[in-house]
Chains A and B, each alone.
Chain A
Amino acid sequence: MLRLTAVTLRHQGQTVLDAVTMEARAGELLVVEGGRAAGKTLLLEIAGARRRPDSGTVCIADHDLTALQRDSLPFVRRNVGFVESQPWFVSGMSVLDNVMLVLGARDEPVDWAREAALRALGKVGAVGLAMARTETLCSSARRLAGIARALAGSPPVLLLDDPSASLTAADTGAVLSALLGAVASGAVAVCASADGAFTSAAVRAGARRLRLEGGRLLAGPMPMSVVTGGRAFDRPSASREALP
């Protein structure tokens, strides 16, 4: 589903990502851990078609994103649920409207989008935030809203940057549960996290762990699901929308 091959990115004369190669199958949860400035955010941005690597290829559903023209990229981005390290929203809009907005990019009917947005907020326990204005939210609420926006409409690819930051244990549990639900239905989810507790919990739940150090990706211990042939995570869903 998601494959990065020899991805290299240089920034200000330094190699931030050095020939990173990774692959995530449909129905798989990956956790990329690493310290500050390890390149986790840049890795996710490249995987989510938000940044172009200096070299290497990025494929989603066998479509090479680096070969796409710029005008084609929105059609990729609208099928990737992305959570930034500091989620940002259209100010002046409610949380519900912001979550709906991502479905507007896919030209979904407004009523359906409203229903899907409420479901996504419900998955992370943030239905109560639906009518709140985004500029009034605290950091944890903004993160929950951002995760709900990424989950809305069940995109086939989920990329989350530090999903547990500033969340309580209960909220982290809800987010992890929502991610497991998404991958159970065939999505691929990649989380970049420096939170050991979240990583451990995710690995216990069947996630594969990777470690990013100095721009190089090191494979972590293989998850039990992969060793045993996979449980729920290896079921690709036929109902998924194909990427354009």
Chain B
Amino acid sequence: MKRRRARPSIAVRGAWAMRIIAHGFRRRQATLALGCVAFSIVTVAILVGAAFVSAGRTEPRPFSSTGGAELVAFLRDDLPSVSRDALSVALGRLPGVAGVRLLGGDEALARMRRDLGDRASVLDGVEEGFLPTTLEIALEPGGQGVERADAIAWRLRRMEGITDVDTLRTSDDERLARLQAIDRHSRKVGLALAAATGALALCLAALAMRRPRAEARLLSSLGFTAAAVAAPGAILGGICAAVGAIAGVCVSGLASRIGSAAWWLGSAPVARMTGETRWLAVGSLVVVASAGACLGWFGWRASGRVDDGREIAG
């Protein structure tokens, strides 16, 4: 077999590299599928974790608590202050009423700003006197008071100087508190779930790395250089990282919008993903994808080791 031995050209090396990489794509379909499953699990884990962390940081929905009052009577704007005081005294004498407090419009506006918290800016530009003067009426517990709130409200609406009456249910506060308690517990459960799924994903990724590692050892034993052995894994890992990053941005963006919609609908005090959380999710996905690529590269590099774990040389 006569042939001329010359320095191998870039074309020859490129041809062999393409053959190995093409084979890697063909043969590693199963590995890639396993990797995709692992990556999907990591994605879900991160999103679940981010959502629950976000939920824990979400402020409760603005709620116009009145400090324990069960009835709020809105007074007519033109009602003199003397009449307001007289009305207050008269209401305090009604059966079932535990107490009456007169609340001016300015004070009510200040309280609303306080309740709104970060969202108080929606009240910017609101004129003085925007809210009417109200009487907050606390009812006595029991059959004469809270349980007859609707009947008392009906009676108040018929009184002179009162334009409207709101009946507030303390059960709303209780429901909110209950939901927040559930939220705290579900946050812990979510984080545990995220950790468990992350561990599962790592196991699957390790499983997916077994065959490439064995193949890398074979190529190394045949005389391929470390760079030649590492190239297919690094290229595949890089592609997976890019795809993972794009997918991560799309998925977390979608989750953010779903979360925002859920919050505005008021279905639960959860799922308002802030911009910070969204970037946290995206960043985590990129880190995970990059870590996967590095893992693949080090897997290939591990080819220089023999069965008993000692390096062949160097």
- Residue ranges of A at the interface with B (Cβ–Cβ < 8 Å): 11, 45, 49-52, 65-66, 68-71, 73-80, 82, 88-93, 97, 101-102, 104-110, 112, 115-116, 119, 154, 241
With A70-B304, A107-B16 in contact, is A52–B313 under 8 Å at CB?
Answer: yes
> What residues of chain B lie closer than 8 Å to A119, measured between beta carbons?
1
The listed residue (B3, B225, B311) touching A74 by CB distance below 8 A is B225
B220 within 8 A of A: yes
Contact between B313 and A66, CB atoms less than 8 A apart: yes
Q: How near does chain A come to B229, taking the closest CB pair, in angstroms?
A: 9
Kindly state whether residue B114 has any CB partner on chain A within 8 Å.
no
B interface majority secondary structure: helix
Interface residue from A65, A77, A106, A115 paired with B1 (Cβ < 8 Å)? A115
Which residues of B have CB within 8 Å of A78?
222-224
Cβ-based interface call for B308 (8 A): yes
Instruction: Using A70-B311, A71-B226, A74-B226 as known contacts, say yes or no to A50 and B27 having CB atoms under 8 A apart.
Output: no
List, in ascending order, chain B residues with CB within 8 A of A110's CB: 12, 15-16, 19
Asked if residues B223 and A106 are in contact (CB atoms below 8 Å), the reply is: yes
Within 8 A of A (CB), among B223-269: 223-226, 228
Taken together as a complex, chains A and B put the C-alpha atoms of A74 and B220 apart, in Å, by 7
By a CB distance below 8 angstroms, the chain A residues around B214 are 88
Q: Number of A-B pairs whose CB atoms are under 8 Å?
A: 99
| Contact surface of B with A, Cβ cutoff 8 Å | 1, 3, 5, 8, 12-13, 15-16, 19-20, 23, 26-27, 211, 214-215, 218-226, 228, 304, 306, 308, 310-314
Please indicate the chain A residues that have their CB under 8 angstroms from the CB of B20 in the complex: 104
Minimum CB–CB distance for A30 against chain B, Å: 21
What is the minimal beta-carbon distance from A12 to any residue of chain B, in angstroms? 9
Q: How far is the CA of A97 from the CA of B26 in the complex (A)?
A: 14
Beta-carbon contact of B8 and A105 below 8 Å: no
Closest chain B residue to A116, Cβ basis: B1
What is the minimal beta-carbon distance from A27 to any residue of chain B, in angstroms? 18
B3 with A50: CB separation less than 8 A: no
Whole-angstrom distance between the alpha carbons of A65 and B225 in the complex?
16
Q: Is the CB of B15 within 8 A of A102?
A: no
Q: A102-B222, A102-B223, A104-B224 are in contact. List 14 more A-B contacts (CB 8 A).
A: A11-B308, A52-B313, A65-B313, A69-B314, A70-B313, A71-B314, A74-B220, A78-B224, A90-B27, A92-B26, A101-B222, A104-B19, A106-B8, A108-B8
Chain A residues in 8 Å Cβ range of B3 = 112
Q: How far is the CA of A90 from the CA of B232 in the complex (A)?
A: 14
Which residue on B lies nearest to A119, using beta carbons?
B1
- Across the A-B interface, the 3 shortest Cβ-Cβ residue pairs: A70-B314, A78-B223, A107-B8
In the complex, which residues of chain B have a beta carbon less than 8 angstroms from the beta carbon of A106? 8, 223
- The smallest beta-carbon distance between A109 and chain B, in angstroms, is 5
> 21 interchain pairs (CB within 8 A)?
A51-B306, A69-B313, A69-B314, A70-B312, A74-B220, A74-B223, A74-B225, A77-B220, A77-B221, A88-B214, A89-B218, A90-B219, A91-B27, A91-B211, A92-B26, A97-B19, A105-B224, A107-B8, A108-B8, A110-B15, A116-B1
Which residue of A has the minimal Cβ distance to B304? A70
Complex Cα–Cα for A68 and B162 (A): 99
